[in-house]
Structure 1
Amino acid sequence: MTARDVAARAGVSVTTVSRVLNDKAVDLTPATCERVRVAARELGYQVHPAASALRRGRTGTLGLVVPDIGDQYFHRIARGVEDAIRPQGFGIVFCDTDRDASLEDEAVDMLLSKGVDGIVLCGGGLDDDRHLRSRRWHNTPVVTIGPHRLDFPAISADDVGAVAALVRHLHEGGRRRILCVAGQPTWLVTKQRLVGYHTAVEELGLDDDPKLVVHAGFTAEAGEHAVRQARERGIDFDAVVAFDDYAALGALHALQALGIAVPEDVAVAGCDDIDFARFARVPLTSVRFPTYEMGRAAARLLAPPPGEREEVVAAFGFELHVRESSAPAGRRG
């Protein structure tokens, strides 16, 4: 069956059939629209999405590239993107890169080959974005979330200020040697957050021992290993600040397994304020970024709602959520 068959059955033009079945019949009567839909059902006719996309010169999809879809930080971003574009009929193609530059490159290749209408790159640049800076994008709109070295519209959060605020908070509780469980040194988000750590340590006159910075990862296993490694090397510390809540929870687990009381002996704080943070055995202090709003902002830059003139916020702050894991030295609660 074709649109011409539906038009003949309903007694209307092919253009009218197209407008009704593509939800663009704003000036047609309800009776005409119903007649077209009844005719289409009776004939078993359906609009072919791929053919419609070709005619429109768009696919109705956005690509979302994330470092780890299992990380709640990116869940919230994805939800923000999806909620913003769903009313406009867009879908999302998800790509998980596992924080691997070659996989990120492959993901972009795949999205471009599918002709997506735009791409959101999340999580901060890997290896200084060298693999992405020289590639061709074929005029596909791109928006980045997090620190990147790409010449595209960017949505950013105050990573520097967030980690500096955590260090200041720990210092207020009497901590002076703060173990920094960072991400890998080639990740731009690690570099940004390290600036916050070193800025606050210098500002407060705390111990700036290079051994206090351990490059690990953004998993519980990485955080646990970093703390055990520090203890095995005889590194003394009275607080841990991790650049990710999963790593912070792993650090907290390692400390408790080693018989070190949290927060009486060592305070712990993390970043991103995932839901698990407040339900930990010792509720975790963390900074929260408005990731849902960041996702919505990225989507609105790529696919603004029709007639929408509101300016999109591109730079976001953070909230410090203080919990039991960072109570002042020597006491709990």
Structure 2
Amino acid sequence: MATIHDVAKLAKVSIATVSRVMSGADPVNPKTQQRVLAAMEKLNYRPNGLARNLRNLRTNVIIALMPNIQNPFFSEVIRGIEDGAREAGFHLLIGNTDGDRGKAKEYMALLDESLADGLILTTAQTDQAFLDEFAAHRPIVLACEYMEGSTIPTVSIDNISAARKVVKHLLALGHRRIAHIMGPNEVILSRARLAGYRQALQQHGLEVDEMLVQEGDFSLDSGYRVTRKLLSFKRPPTAIFAANDEMAIGAIRAIREHGLQIPDDISVAGFDDLTVSSFVSPSLTTIQQPRYEIGYRSVEMLIRLIRSEPLAQTQVVLDDSLVIRESSGVPKEHM
């Protein structure tokens, strides 16, 4: 059965535009409207008339989208969302997109089908223009990430500042060749943490060696593989800052297999402060994010949007903290 997403794709418009054509509440360019209607007819799309007529009734269901359900970072965020939702009398539907924009849009279309009341994105999984247009008429909150210039309500930390904090710690220990294993370049968080890394080096009067910036994918395996590459350089780094704890833990394994000691030969730092990060050996220096609070605060904001209540603020930036553990130390040349 065709969905609103299929109609939007065939008509080459956004889901928001299809919704406006169906509701008749907002004006749509006549040519665009005709294209949407033609697509609906071709696909034999029949929107749920009862749902459209009773759109003001609530399902008491909200959706939280994750890019990777296997990533342990999101477990505490989701727990915060679920607790907040239950307290407010809402049920939670969790969607795993595997980073697929098409999957994300299919879940988002459930709002237009009146099968859910609101949506929390734990990462921006589609382009900003689409998200801004979609969120203009629907209750949506972005958790964990912040998009510059966007009007979507957001709960996050300052990722640039937090990354800068980690690198400044390594610089203070005496490290000068600090590598950065970043996440996928298309992910906002990756670019923000890379910016913090660059800023810290530049503020210390150091040029960024682009060879020391390598892209991973937030997985243990990518941290392992990228670190093996870094250690093969003629002048390997004396410290590695990974954009998340999983890649940092993968880096630790690669360093050990290379016969090096942490932190005596090379320091490692991560980001997120996963539970396992205090149990690995050596324990991991990292940035602690208030993951539960991010989830809880984001669902509080979403429910206010669903209930058409005003928000005290649309951009909530929570505090992070640098947790210094055994994996970072003074480089050998400074001992």
TM range (shorter): 0.7 to 0.9
Q: Determine what percentage of the aligned residue pairs are the same residue.
A: 29
**Residues 55 and 114 of structure 2 are in contact (CA less than 8 Å); yes or no, is this contact kept in structure 1?**
no
- Which amino acid in structure 1 is aligned with residue 92 of structure 2? I
Aligned counterparts of 1:129 and 1:328: Cα–Cα separation in 2: 42
- SS of residue in 1 equivalent to 2:240: strand
**Residues 301 and 311 of structure 2 are in contact (CA less than 8 Å); yes or no, is this contact kept in structure 1?**
no
**CA shift at 1:133, angstroms?**
4.7
Pairwise CA RMSD:
2.7
**Residues 73 and 274 of structure 1 are in contact (CA less than 8 Å); yes or no, is this contact kept in structure 2?**
yes
Corresponding residue for 2:325? Answer: 323
Aligned counterparts of 1:177 and 1:250: Cα–Cα separation in 2: 20
**Residues 112 and 137 of structure 1 are in contact (CA less than 8 Å); yes or no, is this contact kept in structure 2?**
no
Aligned counterparts of 2:221 and 2:111: Cα–Cα separation in 1: 32
- Which amino acid in structure 2 is aligned with residue 88 of structure 1? A
- Which amino acid in structure 2 is aligned with residue 140 of structure 1? R
**CA shift at 1:194, angstroms?**
1.1
Aligned counterparts of 2:99 and 2:85: Cα–Cα separation in 1: 26
Corresponding residue for 2:105? Answer: 105
**Residues 143 and 302 of structure 1 are in contact (CA less than 8 Å); yes or no, is this contact kept in structure 2?**
yes
My pick for the range that moved more, 216-225 or 63-72, is 63-72
**Residues 127 and 187 of structure 1 are in contact (CA less than 8 Å); yes or no, is this contact kept in structure 2?**
no
Aligned counterparts of 1:81 and 1:93: Cα–Cα separation in 2: 11
Corresponding residue for 2:212? Answer: 212
**CA shift at 1:281, angstroms?**
1.6
CA shift in 2, pair 1:193/1:138, >3 Å: closer
So what's the TM-score if we normalise by structure 1?
0.76
Aligned counterparts of 1:230 and 1:223: Cα–Cα separation in 2: 10
My pick for the range that moved more, 110-119 or 211-220, is 110-119
**Residues 119 and 139 of structure 2 are in contact (CA less than 8 Å); yes or no, is this contact kept in structure 1?**
yes
For these two proteins, the number of residue pairs brought into alignment is 277
CA shift in 2, pair 1:128/1:232, >3 Å: farther
Alignment of 1:273-312 (within 5 A): 273-304=273-304, 311=312
Alignment of 1:160-171 (within 5 A): 160-171=160-171
**5+ residue gaps, structure 2:** 1-49
Aligned counterparts of 1:314 and 1:137: Cα–Cα separation in 2: 17
CA shift in 2, pair 1:311/1:185, >3 Å: same
Corresponding residue for 1:157? Answer: 157
- Deviation per CA, 1:36-82: give whole Å up to 9, x if none: xxxxxxxxxxxxxx99xx69711011110111222232111111111
CA shift in 2, pair 1:233/1:109, >3 Å: farther
**CA shift at 1:244, angstroms?**
0.5
- SS of residue in 2 equivalent to 1:271: coil
Q: Highest CA radius of gyration, 1 or 2?
A: 1
Corresponding residue for 2:140? Answer: 142
Corresponding residue for 1:254? Answer: 254
**CA shift at 1:197, angstroms?**
0.4
CA shift in 2, pair 1:95/1:81, >3 Å: same
Aligned counterparts of 2:96 and 2:135: Cα–Cα separation in 1: 19
**Residues 62 and 92 of structure 2 are in contact (CA less than 8 Å); yes or no, is this contact kept in structure 1?**
yes
- Deviation per CA, 1:157-194: give whole Å up to 9, x if none: 11011110100111111111111000111111111111
Corresponding residue for 1:40? Answer: none
- Deviation per CA, 1:243-284: give whole Å up to 9, x if none: 010000001110111111110011000000000101002100
Aligned counterparts of 2:81 and 2:142: Cα–Cα separation in 1: 12
- Which amino acid in structure 2 is aligned with residue 316 of structure 1? L
Alignment of 1:166-185 (within 5 A): 166-185=166-185
**CA shift at 1:147, angstroms?**
2.3
CA shift in 2, pair 1:128/1:169, >3 Å: farther
**CA shift at 1:288, angstroms?**
0.8
